[in-house]
Amino acid sequence: MLISAQDSPWAIKAEVTPFFLGAINSEKDYNIKSEGLSGGVDAGLAIRRYLSSSWSLETGLIYSSQEFNGRQRGSVPEGSQISYSLEYYKIPLLVNYHWNWNYKKDLKLTVGGGGQLLHLVDYKGIREDRLQIITIENGERVLYVKDQNEVVSVLERDFFSNTRLGLVGYFGFEKRFSESFSYSLKLKTEYDLSLIDNNYGYDLSYFRIGLEFGIQYRFKKANPTHIEGIL
């Protein structure tokens, strides 16, 4: 079984999650739809605190890099091609339920979910049609008009929200392969909630579907000190 009398309630996990990425339209999105391949990868460390053999809490720090490719209705009938590359730090707060599967030794099925805070650390956006190219990078929005062959405007401000909230859900299994180590495989979904900061109309609400691979180390309880000859 995954839990023994010598197990500490604390564990640490390294994880990586490649994912597909989609966007959910809102009033600000101007009928954006996915076009081409959009996705990314998460990687980071998580800390888990077992409350019992069936329940645990989990948090951590995850680095996420994603790229969204799509088409947006704009100033021309055929629309604009867009590409947004975003990098986040994610801090999740999750609750897990573990179910012993007696059919298979040292295997547990796990279902869990919760929320997370996403903090934007870097971004680049490109929106292009047959009339113009808009580039957003390093806090600048540059508008280049093709017919005039020149940059006609430069704006400086935050064009993507620095902070946002999201929901997380997943299910999968965990398999112990030594006294302290186990691996896990989970199908994971994420959905971004409404934005916290104001924005310039370039933010989208994203959803992610990915496969999380994890390696967990379960700490052991320290054995009590015994001195021979002392009662």
**Domain containing 44 — which CATH number?**
2.40.160.20
Q: What does the pLDDT read at residue 231? A: 47
Residue 26 within any structural domain of the chain: yes
**AA letter at 2:** L
Range of the domain at 91: 7-68+86-118+161-220
Residue 45 within any structural domain of the chain: yes
Calpha distance 129→72 (Å, rounded): 10
Exposed/middle/buried for 194, CB within 10 Å: 0-12, 13-18, 19+?
exposed
* Most distant CA atoms of the chain, gap in Å: 94
Q: How many domains does the chain have?
A: 1
Exposed/middle/buried for 170, CB within 10 Å: 0-12, 13-18, 19+?
buried
Residue 128 within any structural domain of the chain: no
Helix (H) or strand (E) holding 182: strand 181-195
**Across 183-200, average pLDDT:** 81
Lowest mean pLDDT among 43-52, 88-97, 126-135: 126-135
Residue 148 within any structural domain of the chain: no
pLDDT in tens, 118-144: 999 999 999 898 899 999 987 888 999
Residue 174 within any structural domain of the chain: yes
Residue 139 within any structural domain of the chain: no
Contact 53, 79 (CB under 8 A): no
